[in-house]
Amino acid sequence: MREQKKKDGTYQNSNKVSDLKTIEDEREAREDSLDAQLQVFRRLLPVWLKQVSSLKDPRQDKT
Protein backbone atom coordinates (compact mmCIF):
# COMPACT_ATOMS: atom_id res chain seq x y z
CA MET A 1 0.00 0.00 0.00
CA ARG A 2 2.85 2.41 0.81
CA GLU A 3 4.49 1.68 -2.53
CA GLN A 4 1.22 2.38 -4.33
CA LYS A 5 0.86 5.71 -2.54
CA LYS A 6 4.44 6.59 -3.48
CA LYS A 7 3.64 5.85 -7.12
CA ASP A 8 0.45 7.93 -6.96
CA GLY A 9 2.28 10.79 -5.25
CA THR A 10 -0.08 10.76 -2.27
CA TYR A 11 2.39 9.28 0.22
CA GLN A 12 3.47 11.66 2.97
CA ASN A 13 6.37 11.09 5.30
CA SER A 14 5.09 11.37 8.86
CA ASN A 15 8.51 12.39 10.25
CA LYS A 16 8.75 15.33 7.91
CA VAL A 17 9.79 18.58 9.58
CA SER A 18 10.14 20.90 6.60
CA ASP A 19 8.27 21.22 3.32
CA LEU A 20 11.47 22.22 1.54
CA LYS A 21 13.00 19.64 -0.77
CA THR A 22 16.71 20.44 -0.59
CA ILE A 23 19.20 21.92 1.82
CA GLU A 24 19.74 24.81 -0.58
CA ASP A 25 16.01 25.61 -0.53
CA GLU A 26 16.04 25.60 3.26
CA ARG A 27 19.13 27.81 3.37
CA GLU A 28 17.53 30.27 0.95
CA ALA A 29 14.30 30.37 2.97
CA ARG A 30 16.25 31.04 6.17
CA GLU A 31 18.25 33.81 4.51
CA ASP A 32 15.05 35.42 3.21
CA SER A 33 13.53 35.26 6.68
CA LEU A 34 16.65 36.76 8.25
CA ASP A 35 16.75 39.51 5.64
CA ALA A 36 13.15 40.46 6.42
CA GLN A 37 13.90 40.55 10.16
CA LEU A 38 16.97 42.72 9.62
CA GLN A 39 14.96 45.20 7.56
CA VAL A 40 12.47 45.56 10.40
CA PHE A 41 15.22 46.00 13.00
CA ARG A 42 17.01 48.59 10.86
CA ARG A 43 13.80 50.56 10.57
CA LEU A 44 12.96 50.36 14.29
CA LEU A 45 16.43 50.77 15.81
CA PRO A 46 16.66 54.57 15.42
CA VAL A 47 13.25 54.97 17.08
CA TRP A 48 14.24 52.71 19.96
CA LEU A 49 17.55 54.49 20.47
CA LYS A 50 15.79 57.86 20.58
CA GLN A 51 13.31 56.55 23.16
CA VAL A 52 16.05 55.05 25.32
CA SER A 53 18.20 58.18 25.13
CA SER A 54 15.38 60.21 26.68
CA LEU A 55 15.50 58.07 29.84
CA LYS A 56 17.48 59.46 32.75
CA ASP A 57 20.51 57.49 33.83
CA PRO A 58 20.08 56.47 37.48
CA ARG A 59 23.84 56.01 37.85
CA GLN A 60 24.55 59.73 37.50
CA ASP A 61 25.00 61.67 40.73
CA LYS A 62 22.55 64.43 41.53
CA THR A 63 25.27 66.74 42.88
Is residue 9 assigned to a domain?
A: no
Is residue 30 assigned to a domain?
A: yes
In a 13 Å sphere around the CA of 20, the CA atoms on its Cβ side amount to 10
- Range(s) of the domain holding residue 25: 20-51
Is residue 11 assigned to a domain?
A: no
* Distance, CA of 61 to CA of 1 (rounded, Å): 78
Is residue 45 assigned to a domain?
A: yes
Is residue 32 assigned to a domain?
A: yes
Nearest to 13 by CA among 26, 21, 28: 21
Is residue 13 assigned to a domain?
A: no
Is residue 1 assigned to a domain?
A: no
Inter-CA distances, 55 with 40, 44, 45, 51, Å: 23, 18, 16, 7
Report the number of distinct structural domains present in the chain.
Answer: 1
pLDDT in tens, 22-61: 889 999 999 999 999 999 999 999 999 999 999 888 887 7
Is residue 41 assigned to a domain?
A: yes
17 or 31, which is more confident: 31
